Structure 1
């Protein structure tokens, strides 16, 4: 088995206030999509391939809850196989899953941690780096074959995709503007460089070296390609680290995310006088569905995608089964209600996902919303396009439109809010120097003020070094001598 999958479970900064970036939040990997932890979709996808093992890297402080969820996933998978297995060896095989607790501020530190693990290096032929937040129907065999068919000079393959969601993003705040530079030959494409918005916001132009244009005259710069978070690489990348200890030092990895490490590997194809090993590029086919749930608008839209599919599957089959009792609660075919949830009289749920063990009062209107587990909603409440965290209490006669409510919050009776993020009072905000008004209620959804980059797993805009300080000024081989 040639591949070991390494699943990165970040803190989910762009999923605040529902991720572990807030004290009340859940680990990013456990945030639900259609009432299933998002990491389950990644594990299911991995199980469709024949892998040596799946290594889930998560923060030390949340490793127990992630491990408990994975154990529950294993049990559910075994039970499902016991009922559905046809007895063939193919259906009996399950890839072993291991947990690696490791707290890292930047995701490139995980690469360095694996690099220092001699046992991992000796037993791993190829690495499949995955985020914990993607959903796709693209078979893993497709990306594995893309890696196997790569150019001999490629140490890995960088996978990108194009947005398929119907989300208006005129200011590039949801998906973040990235400038991906790659060789223009579609049949044998390689990654040349990647720029984030922060890289050019000061200079207002792309700093592309002439040497790259000479060597790759058909280079293309695209703002349509998004980082899938998937990177397949041979263990040769560890040898590259060995060969350049001054550049790829421990401090280098502490200050970067792994996306920038891949970028620096790609630059090797043109920033030296002699061509060196580089990184191939593969764009997920438009025929396949691919969604990265790495911010709040996409989290909401991903849930809606599942609801649309459910409504199409159900069609009108359940329409006649709805209770004719005028006092009964109504749940549309395009909605999901979790186990143990109670709905009061005349409550109406449309285009929404309601979590497990929730208590919903009478005459509640829930439209286009995502409600996590153990939420209590009083009578005569209206929710429209809202995300409600776990263990939230919304008192009667409240009306929330386009709002995010942090987990464990208690929304007072009669609250009227539109486009706001309701946060809990906590000491962390006081220590950060924020006033009560600033952290109890923030005008506008958090996603609008979040990082311009995709996620903390991919991009770190707080890097205080010059982007090109150590990338172009070094002149070891004399290429840039004047």
Structure 2
């Protein structure tokens, strides 16, 4: 596969539906660290491994400086600048839809193209096979699915159905015919008679997940342009509107006028010019007034893949990288069963398996770290106990504190003796006696992030309570 056959677009835009507040509130989502590496670093490495030479990153204005600084400095220093990275910056104050983004960059898309959302970490082995499937079958859309991941014992299961889809597949052809979010289903998945007439061998799955890695044919951009011009309310979302529209266009009699570029007539045209062209051969329909249909295919990957759109998935991804469940590795120096940066000071400290300790972090005497990620420039007092936790950069923890099952944001100061099953936003000070208050605050921010922002609550409002 030549990288020039497909353009790659990373949608490095914050998604308001991702339930990761408050931990990603003060940084772009793609810069959220997984095992001390930004999510974006895994996507760039995936593309490098697959042989791509360039990528277009779409980002918001407020996030550009931070993302560009990483790409231009840290990323290129680490990887010798193997990818040519171009940025397209959205100046909008409000979030815009993913289809609207494709419309904005339409003049930059010249070939078939791949779209990657900023949530995905996936091993690269699928890309070549997926591209071959798309190209070899003249598919208009090919989307990657992966089996629903079972959480490890350290990660709590959730029953949230926000990211569960009911996916209707044709067993014989790998076509995807319908995709309905579980939140939209009341009693049952409704399938049209027209679909059953043309695709009698269907199966409905709710144990497969949409990886949000899509391969589109170039003509889809023409469709988006026409929709923008002709509709009072144009399509704005790839998943909620564009994909259902394309799936519908597979069924004869769909009633949608497709762009002229949607059908590959190269082979048909050659046949139509032969003397054997009759009503009984495949080329005859070229001169007939019939309606075109398209193909939408799925690629089911068995390799590692996870979408970091929930706290559970974020925690799981950190565990997976630290424990070697994926081919990607932390940047820190590898030990026997953990990763400790050469500039970290961890003596005499017990660091167990599946841990990552970032550069210039200082862990005091008698500290214990088990199955946890410790960021850069952290400072722990003596007898600090960390278990099943993710601690980001520049975190200070005082003596004899125990932290378990929690995610601690950047620049947090912890003075209390215990933090359990909490998510602490960046910049807060957790004082003695108010761990419960902080836990309740993090829960509120997690489930109602748009109503209550951590930036609206100054850290001193927390640190001065019960101190």
Please indicate the TM-score interval, normalised by the length of the shorter structure.
0.7 to 0.9
Residue in 1 that maps onto 2:271: none
Work out the CA distance in 1 between the residues paired with 2:295 and 2:314: 33
222-231 or 168-177: bigger deviation: 168-177
Work out the CA distance in 1 between the residues paired with 2:449 and 2:354: 42
Q: Does 1:367 align with 2:387?
A: yes
1:49-60 aligned within 5 A = 49-51=50-52, 53-60=54-61
Give structure 1 stretches of 5+ with no counterpart: 82-93, 319-324, 441-482
Work out the CA distance in 2 between the residues paired with 1:381 and 1:300: 21
Q: Does 1:112 align with 2:103?
A: yes
Residue in 2 that maps onto 1:125: 111
Residue in 2 that maps onto 1:356: 376
* Distance of aligned partners of 1:179 and 1:35 in 2 relative to their CA distance in 1, 3 Å threshold: same
* Distance of aligned partners of 1:392 and 1:350 in 2 relative to their CA distance in 1, 3 Å threshold: same
Work out the CA distance in 1 between the residues paired with 2:177 and 2:6: 25
Q: Is the 8 A contact 1:2 1:51 kept in 2?
A: no
Pick from 362, 365, 368: which aligns with 1:345? 365
Work out the CA distance in 2 between the residues paired with 1:355 and 1:336: 8
Per the TM alignment, residue 165 of structure 1 is displaced from its structure 2 partner at its CA by 3.6
Per the TM alignment, residue 350 of structure 1 is displaced from its structure 2 partner at its CA by 0.8
1:284-363 aligned within 5 A = 284=301, 286=302, 288-309=303-324, 314-315=335-336, 328-363=348-383
Per the TM alignment, residue 423 of structure 1 is displaced from its structure 2 partner at its CA by 4.3
Residue in 1 that maps onto 2:214: 231
Residue in 1 that maps onto 2:49: 48
Scaled by the length of structure 2, the TM-score of the pair is: 0.76
Q: Does 1:71 align with 2:72?
A: yes
Q: Is the 8 A contact 2:134 2:140 kept in 1?
A: no
* Distance of aligned partners of 1:435 and 1:125 in 2 relative to their CA distance in 1, 3 Å threshold: closer
Q: Is the 8 A contact 1:267 1:278 kept in 2?
A: no
Work out the CA distance in 2 between the residues paired with 1:166 and 1:431: 27
SS in 1 for 2:140: strand
238-247 or 343-352: bigger deviation: 238-247
Residue in 2 that maps onto 1:253: 235
Instruction: Render the CA deviation track for 1:418-454: whole Å, top value 9, x for unaligned.
Output: 993534999xx999589999999xxxxxxxxxxxxxx
Residue in 2 that maps onto 1:280: 297
Residue in 2 that maps onto 1:176: 163
* Distance of aligned partners of 1:113 and 1:136 in 2 relative to their CA distance in 1, 3 Å threshold: same
Q: Is the 8 A contact 2:224 2:235 kept in 1?
A: no
SS in 2 for 1:301: helix
Residue in 2 that maps onto 1:405: 424
Per the TM alignment, residue 359 of structure 1 is displaced from its structure 2 partner at its CA by 1.1
* Distance of aligned partners of 1:11 and 1:141 in 2 relative to their CA distance in 1, 3 Å threshold: same
Give structure 2 stretches of 5+ with no counterpart: 256-290, 340-345, 460-467
Q: Is the 8 A contact 1:9 1:58 kept in 2?
A: yes
Work out the CA distance in 2 between the residues paired with 1:439 and 1:251: 40
Q: Is the 8 A contact 2:337 2:354 kept in 1?
A: no
Per the TM alignment, residue 95 of structure 1 is displaced from its structure 2 partner at its CA by 2.9
Residue in 2 that maps onto 1:96: 84
Residue in 2 that maps onto 1:142: 129
SS in 1 for 2:386: strand
Greater length-normalized contact order (CA 8 Å, ≥ 6 residues apart): 1
* Distance of aligned partners of 1:44 and 1:11 in 2 relative to their CA distance in 1, 3 Å threshold: same
Q: Is the 8 A contact 2:367 2:384 kept in 1?
A: yes
Q: Is the 8 A contact 1:409 1:424 kept in 2?
A: no
Pick from 8, 13, 17: which aligns with 1:10? 13
Per the TM alignment, residue 291 of structure 1 is displaced from its structure 2 partner at its CA by 1.9
Residue in 1 that maps onto 2:204: 221
Per the TM alignment, residue 261 of structure 1 is displaced from its structure 2 partner at its CA by 1.1
Scaled by the length of structure 1, the TM-score of the pair is: 0.74
